[in-house]
Structure 1
Amino acid sequence: MKNYIKADEWNIIEEGFDPHLNKISESIFSLGNGRMGQRANFEETYTGETLLGNYVAGVYYPDKTRVGWWKNGYPEYFAKVLNAANWVGIEVKLDDEILDLATAEVSDFKRLLNMHAGYLERTFTAKLKSGKTLKVKSTRFCSIADDEVGAIRYSITPLDFDGKLTLTPFIDGDVKNQDSNYDEKFWDKIADEISGTEAYIKLRTKKTAFEVCTGSNIELYKNAEKLDINPEAVRKEKFVGQTFSIEVKANEEITLVKIAANLSSENYPKESLLKETKSVIANASAKGFDTLLTEQTEAWASKWEESDIIIEGDVSAQQAIRFNIFQLFQTYTGKDDRLNIGPKGFTGEKYGGSTYWDTEAYCVPFYLATAPQEVSKNLLIYRHKQLGKAIENAAKLGFKDGAALYPMVTMNGEECHNEWEITFEEIHRNGAIAFAIFNYIRYTGDESYLSDFGLEVLIGIARFWKQRVNWSNDKQQYVMLGVTGPNEYENNINNNWYTNILATWCMKYATEAAGIVKTQQPEKYNSLLKSLNFDQKEFTDWADIIEKMYYPHDEKLGIFLQQDGYLDKEQTLVKDLPASERPINQKWSWDRILRSCFIKQADVLQGLYFFEEDYDLDTLKRNFDFYEPRTVHESSLSPCVHSILAAKLNDEARAYEFYLRTARLDLDDYNNDTEDGLHITSMAGTWMSVVEGFAGMRVRDGKLQFNPFLPGKWKSFSFTIGFRGTTLKINITESGISIKNNAAIDLEIGIRNQLYKLAGNTEIEVNNAALV
């Protein structure tokens, strides 16, 4: 665990430069706007350890799978969001000496991520080997007001010398992914152009033929006065830039402003890509850096108005929740239903930037409450558009008749994960997609989604589960063999309780959804079932499986068993593990992990989180008290589920402990892996821990319910949510809860199982005495 980020309510601050922490900071201080993003790499040359990363949403490459032994059904590639052209680069030379923080003596270094306004600022003083000293201040952002534009303002002040300053702003497309399986570079150059202060390069991905045009325009200032300098063009392989040479004197400030843009063939015809990029650059340059930054600040203010969580009395917790919300909105804005949320967002290459089940299980609840309804709906439509591919994925594994198996990892709907125990066996991801449809409708009330999109997906998923189970003559029940549950420290197990319960729930919900569509839109219902070659006998088959499914459990302990034979393992608790042996995924052999009882993340408890209405508190407590002490929480998705369940059990200490772990997972580098990129999808779990955990928010029978408590270190906390056309401001203090309705719609609100009328544009306050 690291602890070098300064506590601040609205800023992420690093003071002092430690090269050993640089890759971690490159992740933490990353920028994005939903359409493109970048790690916090330095603008100037840096020959130290770094992970360069610039990314353009939706642009990927099918890197050839690298495995030792091929198995039938393996995907042939692993799709990767590509490290794209580096547009932030500015080479700085003082006379003939290059500024390089790896070789210079660095002082007064400060990096600041302003989350309220959405920009990154960096200041430092550097003494070069020659003895020359200069001061630098850079400010940059990726605009969410215009998501094709990025901007940099880079100021240099010589402190103790006169001489020649040479600046070479550039765009470098000669890049590769650090995780390239065969060290291949994925881009070909199509065209480039340098004209005065403007530079453009157009690249095309190999195999997939995506095209991206990156352009920039440069302005130079001396002591705030604009300079008119004709630069020298610089052109190399997949590299364009300009060199500006200026005679400077001590204490004169030279400022370079770089306005850049990334446009892709996903949004423009390839033949007009260069022209459109020039137009974007011209419009952005006409506005200028200050206006672009003002627009950025205003756009972020609007987002914070909808989504901020305010915590009084705990700066560390306040900083953490805002950091997580900030990174979620930098990653996904919901404008494009072709895009989704990679586990690392725009902050690193691990997991390939592809879509996992994390989106449906963790991110959908966040966007349902903090963004317009279309945003979460687009996440669901993304999966509907890929239903055909899901049916193809299932067919490759021997399933038929329209059975759909959604991929564990994907960019275009086709499975591209290359580990057998995940690709073939971690099939519970299908259930998360069905649950997201249910969750969306439960929250929004938008049952029309079923007839328009949802029922078709639910039927495909139910068909898969029907074929995936088999009848056990020994048990006289249906069983599910050879699976991997959410706990990936168990592979190829039989009857994972979570997977079994999820499978039958999917068949129940598909049946229920069919009834809703049949009642509301009978013609559409009949047409859909005809197009799917659906036989009414399928409902009967599903009902038989639902009735006769086997669920492993232990009567003596009163718990659901994670899988058959789990209690045959040596039952060691995490508290008895030496600190020197953790994390076990970095210290133990895989064989040893698989034979242990240790759990990577919520598994049985994931099911109890999804379906908590079906179980009483005693059942939840028995299972929580058994499984949590055996959980090592080595998945970023683990602490939030445990925090929410602990809160439901009124276990305030553990609820808060798990909240801090999920909230500051990246800021404090809990798992020693932040340098690979941030854990974007688990950041939604941080929000869930506050809103579903501490505030106890649920939707029951179309009504919002709250069961709040205030963590002991907090004076109060408040948050805003959207719900069915209303915007509600919830404030929880030591004395009770207040809810303000900012719309003209009347609501009924449940607070600790008691219903209250909340008229439009009014506020209710319920004190704790009334809640007893």
Structure 2
Amino acid sequence: MNWEIIVNSDYKDTVAETGNKLLIGNGYLGVRGTLDEHEKEELVAITLAGIYDKVGNGWREPLNAPNPFWSKIHLDDQLLTARSENVIFHEQNLQFRYGILIRETVWKTEKGNITLKTERYADINAVNKLHYRISLSSDQVMHLRLSTGINSDVWDIHGPHYKGVRLIEKDSCLACEALVQNDIDRVAVVREDTIAESSIYEKRLVTDESKIFNCYEIELNPHQSFELTSEIAIVTTKDHSDALNKAIQVCQSSSSSDKTNHLSKWDKIWNTCEVEIGGDEMAEMGMNYSLYQLNIAAPRHSKSLSIPARALSGQVYKGAIFWDTEMFMLDYFLWTQPEIAKTLIGYRIDTLSGALEKASQYGYEGAFYAWESQEGGFDACSDYNVTDVFTNRPVRTYFKDKQMHISSAIARGIDYYVQVTDDFSVLLEGGLITVIECAMFYRSLLLKPLLKDHFVINDVIGPDEYHERVNNNAYTNYMAHYTIKCAIEQAKAVMTLYPEAYLAIDKVNDISEKLKKLEAVVDKIYLPKPNEFGLLEQFDGYFTLEDITPDIAKSRLKHPKEYWGGGNGVASDTQVIKQADVLTLMEVRSDIFSPDVIEKNWHYYEPRTEHGSSLSACMYALTACRFNRPDLSYPFFLKSALSDLKGGGKQWAGLVYIGGTHPAASGGAWKSLIQGFAGLELSENEPLLSPNLPEHWQYLVFRINYKGKLIKIRINSVKGSYHILREEIK
């Protein structure tokens, strides 16, 4: 398989997409795939996980670290860049098997040809480390000037987040210590350069208002290149109280074996998850690239951290944690690297207090999780998430207030983790009370109409965000019922298996009384049923809305960046939906909907879906597999698998930039492949497989971790019949 992503151009209008596509990272940080000479205007960013700041009335967002890869090359007074007219070769090459980004640019000048080669990677083992190499050569004798160091003038969406920087040379290192606007946190970036002994140069240190760098006056000839290696460390006060000195220590701890260890760790990761697809190179490459994106976002360095909606590709969506993690990404980690899945679950358990507080603020009981979660479960979601393109005024939205289904995603994540792993420690260490509090939240939402004998849930937003404040959204009602039922079942399981632990938890959290309240309502929640045509109405009154296609809705736009939803959007009073809603329910609860019903709803809702979210395609891919139509599933699977490789996704919501990588689509592609085409399901003794591969596929090979055993599975397809081979690997 081809493990290289190559970009041969540096155009201003594609720099954002290239930065996403060539992203490197290690779960602690993400480095956008920009060029060495780029400035913040080209969206240069090293986005840090789990550390945030808010400036004035701007949105609270993650910090971007000062850039230690800043480099400029001059021939006399001419700045050489990838956009220079005299470029005769230019290439960026992401070797995504190992997360290494290589750049080569050749300039033809009057004095001869000049070749620049650089290499950078984020250490997958020591996550505070980055590694950087610069090589300059020429085919003639010439003099060049290389300026390279740390640039603190960073790109921020709602910044600036640094109120001051200290630029110093210390212990032979270039150092930048940035003070965050909150007057609490600091970010230290340290870089130590080593020059090959054969290189001919003179060096001087330069410091200006925003940069500290070494200026190298270099003598080149056809037999003499200039070789520079930089060891880089980034440490924040979240990691260590003395971030600067700790960064110097980390930087100087580098050794010649770092890269070997880095490569070895990546090989071990791929041994748990690599996918092979016979007869479809595009799908194979797209799927493994999607897994690369998930792997570089995985918080291996933590026991309690999660993956933002745009991973670590920038500050978009405030670097917050959405339902994306539990509903779209978790399954991949759970079946391949369960220790990471436990870390993702741990984040939700540890932010329960924030969910309890949010529920209380709205007058509810239990746990109402943040729609856009930051530290401690703080909800970073604004009341005004969209800007009116005509008035330039913020528009009131209700994502934070009314997307009640968020808490069911956390309950589902914990429940599925226990089912797959048999690891009940999660329940004993806070998971049980988390699920119960999610259930108590849904209980507090229930309303009983005077003349009815059931409870309804009104005034919500389902997965389809174009229709706000609706009643009895099918997804929300069914998932509320699922969460309450799950809480009851899990409590009984813990009571049976771990009676002493249960009594201890009950004593502190009064579980027994809460279970009585939950048992009293669980079977009385209104669960809408399919009508005489087999169709499940998305919410009360949905079928009475204007029935048009997304293309017709689009033709009504008066501005290309106009928001489709809300009070006045072109989709609001129509049956056009943003993303899979009913079909998301039918995938998550495929155990209670027949293939025939799923098929009828698929054919009804898909033509009415705009697919304005990267979360949508995979749900249609998965549900098409539920009624044995891999031909219908395949294009939606491919759309998810290629979402970051091909780019072209939605970049704007109104006037708000929402570009970046799409880890939920990557996770959804894995779900479509393994739980869809391969038909992976749980059973008591071993995983069950019900393959239904696309017709042109010859075989599918994948790996799963089932209860501590790493199993390689090969499904051979011959004229519609399947031969399954299983092999336990180490």
Contact 1:694 1:711 in 2 (8 A): yes
Contact 1:342 1:681 in 2 (8 A): no
Distance change (3 Å), C-alpha of 1:729 and 1:581: farther
CA distance in structure 2 between the aligned counterparts of 1:208 and 1:313, rounded to whole angstroms: 56
After TM superposition, which residue ranges in structure 1, 4 or more long, deviate above 4 angstroms?
63-66, 130-133, 574-590
Residue 92, structure 1, aligned to residue 73, structure 2: yes
Which AA in structure 2 matches 1:660? L
Which AA in structure 2 matches 1:452? E
CA distance in structure 2 between the aligned counterparts of 1:305 and 1:483, rounded to whole angstroms: 43
Distance change (3 Å), C-alpha of 1:258 and 1:230: same
CA distance in structure 1 between the aligned counterparts of 2:323 and 2:195, rounded to whole angstroms: 47
Aligned equivalent of 1:441: 418
User: Which of 306, 310, 316 is equivalent to 1:344?
Assistant: 310
The superposition leaves residues 245-276 of structure 1 with CA deviations (integer Å, 9 ceiling, x where unpaired) of: 123346742222222111122222x23x3222
Residue 22, structure 1, aligned to residue 15, structure 2: yes
CA distance in structure 1 between the aligned counterparts of 2:269 and 2:410, rounded to whole angstroms: 27
SS of match in other structure, 2:481: helix
Distance change (3 Å), C-alpha of 1:474 and 1:251: farther
Aligned equivalent of 2:725: 739
SS of match in other structure, 1:325: helix
Q: CA deviation at 1:107?
A: 2.9
Aligned equivalent of 1:416: 380
Residue 165, structure 1, aligned to residue 144, structure 2: yes
Aligned equivalent of 1:283: 253
Matches for 1:285-300 after TM superposition, within 5 Å:
286-287=255-256, 291-300=257-266
Contact 1:36 1:346 in 2 (8 A): yes
Residue 186, structure 1, aligned to residue 161, structure 2: yes
SS of match in other structure, 1:609: helix
Aligned equivalent of 1:393: 358
The superposition leaves residues 42-85 of structure 1 with CA deviations (integer Å, 9 ceiling, x where unpaired) of: 112569x611111222221134555xxxxxxxxxxx43111211
Residue 80, structure 1, aligned to residue 66, structure 2: no
Distance change (3 Å), C-alpha of 1:246 and 1:195: farther
The superposition leaves residues 268-306 of structure 1 with CA deviations (integer Å, 9 ceiling, x where unpaired) of: 2x23x322222222221x42xxx4332222221111111
Aligned equivalent of 1:513: 490
CA distance in structure 2 between the aligned counterparts of 1:59 and 1:553, rounded to whole angstroms: 45
User: Which of 617, 635, 644 is equivalent to 2:613?
Assistant: 635
Identical amino acids, percent of aligned pairs: 25
Q: CA deviation at 1:438?
A: 0.7
Residue 121, structure 1, aligned to residue 99, structure 2: no
Distance change (3 Å), C-alpha of 1:588 and 1:508: closer
SS of match in other structure, 1:591: coil
Residue 363, structure 1, aligned to residue 333, structure 2: no
Contact 2:55 2:181 in 1 (8 A): no
Residue 495, structure 1, aligned to residue 463, structure 2: no
Q: CA deviation at 1:484?
A: 0.5
Aligned equivalent of 1:716: 699
Q: CA deviation at 1:641?
A: 1.4
Distance change (3 Å), C-alpha of 1:382 and 1:627: same
Matches for 1:670-749 after TM superposition, within 5 Å:
670-673=648-651, 676-701=659-684, 703-735=686-718, 736-742=722-728
Q: CA deviation at 1:15?
A: 3.1
Q: CA deviation at 1:204?
A: 2.5
> TM-score, normalized by length of structure 2?
0.91
Aligned equivalent of 1:624: 602
The superposition leaves residues 214-236 of structure 1 with CA deviations (integer Å, 9 ceiling, x where unpaired) of: 11111234xxx544756312222
Contact 2:82 2:90 in 1 (8 A): no
Residue 9, structure 1, aligned to residue 17, structure 2: no
CA distance in structure 2 between the aligned counterparts of 1:45 and 1:510, rounded to whole angstroms: 52
CA distance in structure 2 between the aligned counterparts of 1:585 and 1:620, rounded to whole angstroms: 33
CA distance in structure 2 between the aligned counterparts of 1:584 and 1:732, rounded to whole angstroms: 45
CA distance in structure 1 between the aligned counterparts of 2:530 and 2:253, rounded to whole angstroms: 67
Residue 319, structure 1, aligned to residue 285, structure 2: yes
Matches for 1:220-619 after TM superposition, within 5 Å:
220-221=195-196, 225-227=197-199, 231-249=203-221, 252-268=224-240, 270-271=241-242, 273-284=243-254, 286-287=255-256, 291-371=257-337, 373-400=338-365, 403-412=366-375, 413-419=377-383, 420-534=397-511, 536=513, 538-553=514-529, 555-574=531-550, 590-619=568-597
Q: CA deviation at 1:138?
A: 1.5
Q: CA deviation at 1:132?
A: 6.5
Distance change (3 Å), C-alpha of 1:533 and 1:64: farther
Aligned equivalent of 1:757: none
Distance change (3 Å), C-alpha of 1:164 and 1:579: farther
SS of match in other structure, 1:434: helix
CA distance in structure 1 between the aligned counterparts of 2:223 and 2:563, rounded to whole angstroms: 53
Residue 217, structure 1, aligned to residue 226, structure 2: no
Distance change (3 Å), C-alpha of 1:587 and 1:464: closer
The superposition leaves residues 650-705 of structure 1 with CA deviations (integer Å, 9 ceiling, x where unpaired) of: 11111111111111112222424399211122211111111111100011345311
Contact 2:598 2:626 in 1 (8 A): no
Contact 1:95 1:163 in 2 (8 A): no
> TM-score, normalized by length of structure 1?
0.87
Q: CA deviation at 1:586?
A: 5.3
Which AA in structure 1 matches 2:673? V
CA distance in structure 1 between the aligned counterparts of 2:533 and 2:728, rounded to whole angstroms: 48
Distance change (3 Å), C-alpha of 1:456 and 1:15: same
SS of match in other structure, 2:252: helix
